[in-house]
Amino acid sequence: MARAAPARRRRSDGARRHDAILDAALRCFAKGGVLGVGIEDVRREAGASPSSMYHLFGDLEGIVVALLARVFDALFAHIAARLEGARSAREAVHALVDAHLEWALAHPREARFMYQATMAEGPSLRAASRRRLLAAKGEALAPILERREPHVRAGELPPWSPALLDVVLLGPSHEGLRRWLAGASELLPDLLRPLLPSLAWQSVRQHRASGGARARTPRTRSRTPGVRRDTK
């Protein structure tokens, strides 16, 4: 028991240092952009020793990956919570898109970093970093996919992959947010939030109307009488 307490304190201290360095990195990226910041900038901002930086993250890429994982975790947790009360496919799509917009508009520093890092650093990440980031993103995304699944089984939503779901339903939101975060003043939140969830739902309806929702398994189709008539 006496030995366990110091070990817990060391882990707690390490977690605090880890989070403090990520907070400092976010401040640096907010000021200089992802491509304009070096690991020494982050170290000075955090007041950390070089050995601590190396031990916790290895290099700047490790900091970027860890911060992206933290941002994804917060964003997807917010979306999953909003999906909790969605009773229909339409409500689920509206909640998905609006929750994404809501979180990004409320956390502009994190959202700006997320878009900059995925565009600038994503393609050049080392294989190990990419695997680590994809694993963290997949874990954070799982509750969202779980809440979507009943609507897919009922034939109300297409069985799209997460990547296709992101492109079709959130593509306009990503582009609108990128531009707004870059200073496009005409793309006001008051315009984006009422408009984009409705556009996303229209894309689902058009897909179903074209027969795309018939891609369900026969077992699922037999359990949802009447759905086939809606897809014509």
Of 46-55, 58-67, 101-110, 215-224, the range with the lowest mean pLDDT is: 215-224
pLDDT digits (tens, 9 = 90+) for 9-24: 556 777 899 999 999 9
Locate the domains of the chain by residue range: 1-58, 60-230
Give the whole-angstrom CA distance, residue 27 versus residue 113.
10
Buried b vs exposed e over 187-214: b needs ≥16 C-beta within 10 Å? beeeebbeebbeebbeebeebbeeeebe
Is the C-alpha dihedral spanning 206, 93, 157, 178 positive or negative?
positive
Residues of the chain with pLDDT > 90, as a percent, come to 77
The more confidently predicted of residues 31 and 223 is: 31
Token pair listed for 178: 């990128």
Give the whole-angstrom CA distance, residue 116 versus residue 210.
36
- CATH class belonging to 60-230: mainly alpha
**pLDDT score for 210:** 86
**pLDDT score for 11:** 62
Q: What is the mean pLDDT of the chain?
A: 88
Asked if pLDDT for residue 194 goes beyond 50, the answer is yes
pTM: 0.84
Confidence of residue 118 (pLDDT cuts 50, 70, 90): very high
Confidence of residue 120 (pLDDT cuts 50, 70, 90): confident
Confidence of residue 222 (pLDDT cuts 50, 70, 90): very low
Give the whole-angstrom CA distance, residue 31 versus residue 33.
6
Question: DSSP secondary structure string, 107-151?
Answer: -HHHHHHHHHHHHHTGGG--HHHHHHHHHHHHHHHHHHHHHHHHH
Radius of gyration (C-alpha) of the chain in whole angstroms: 21
Domains 1-58 and 60-230 share a fold: no
**pLDDT score for 216:** 45
Give the whole-angstrom CA distance, residue 89 versus residue 72.
23
Token pair listed for 169: 């339903």
Q: Provide the 8-state DSSP code for 34.
A: G
From 2.30.30, 1.10.10, 3.30.70, 3.40.1350, which CATH number describes the 1-58 domain? Answer: 1.10.10
Average pLDDT, integer, range 206-228: 55
pLDDT digits (tens, 9 = 90+) for 44-88: 999 999 999 999 999 999 999 999 999 999 999 999 999 998 999
